[in-house]
Amino acid sequence: MATDAQQKWNATSLPDLTGRTAVVTGANSGIGFTAADALARAGAHVVFAVRDVERGGAAAARVQGSTEVRRLDLADLTSVREFAAGWDRPLDLLINNAGVMMIPEQRTRDGFEMQFGTNHLGHFALTNLLLPYLTDRVVTVASGAHRWGDQRIDFDDLDRSSGYDPRGVYGQSKLANLLFVLELQRRLVESGSPVRALAAHPGYAATNLQSHASSAAARVFMKFGNRFLAQDDRAGALPTLYAATQDLPGASYVGPDGLGEMRGAPTLVGRSAAASDPAVARRLWTASEELTGARFPQDVGTRG
């Protein structure tokens, strides 16, 4: 039986995307796969940007449409640079979807805390490196977790070297996603680029993302929530697809229209005050440039 979200606006509502190219990070499973599948069915050529090319190939083989698989490990800036260096054609759509959630403490190959390093820094570097090829928009998948507690960017300890709270670190990484979109859009406008930066969140969607939580109690709770409270990954992908294809203002944030933005049809939603602060967004951008070595290019869209 179709959900209300699927009855109001669903993947069949997508425009014809024939001739367009999209890169979807983490496209081998969950919301990323569902979004990639929908885009391909609508006619787009979809690049599965995945850490495990074997799994990515198996996922792409299930899609009806034009696809290819390329290796991308967002927890390794060398891999990010190699992916970008191998790109040589116009890119209409970049969907920054891949991520990790509330995992035990780990470090990226470059020594960053894994959630901040993957969810924010990896996508920050990838986006800036691909911007010369982009022609339409960047959609970054954020989360309602950016509101958890009194969520702020801790510039004195971005890597949480003085203590590790899986939940708090995840929330900070999702707050960083929204601040990234805010500052990216400002820079795009300032440069005169027609490219737009948008954000989306899936509400509470049942995917395998929650299965890697650091505590057994959290995993049990999420397993219960996935079964009885969450919407499926098809409905969870709708805000991403909506942000990727509808005529929306830059820096828009799309999420479900239901109670608490947990489920429902895609619509424009609000964000916390901390996620709306342009000064903090600029400061985070500068810090991210220093950490990754990736900077906003002067030739945005010139190779597109």
170 is catalytic: yes
How many angstroms separate the CA atoms of 85 and 240, rounded? 26
Beta strand pairing status for 196-200 and 134-141? parallel
CB distance 201 to 261 below 8 Å: yes
Catalytic residue among 133, 164, 170, 242: 170
Q: Alpha helices, DSSP H only, in the chain? A: 4-8, 30-41, 53-60, 77-85, 114-116, 123-130, 166-191, 216-228, 233-236, 238-245, 278-292
Beta strand pairing status for 196-200 and 253-256? parallel
Under DSSP, is residue 68 helix (H, G, I), strand (E, B) or coil? strand
CB distance 136 to 93 below 8 Å: yes
- Using the structure block, give the residue that is written with the tokens 């294809």: 245
Under DSSP, is residue 45 helix (H, G, I), strand (E, B) or coil? strand
Catalytic residue set: 170
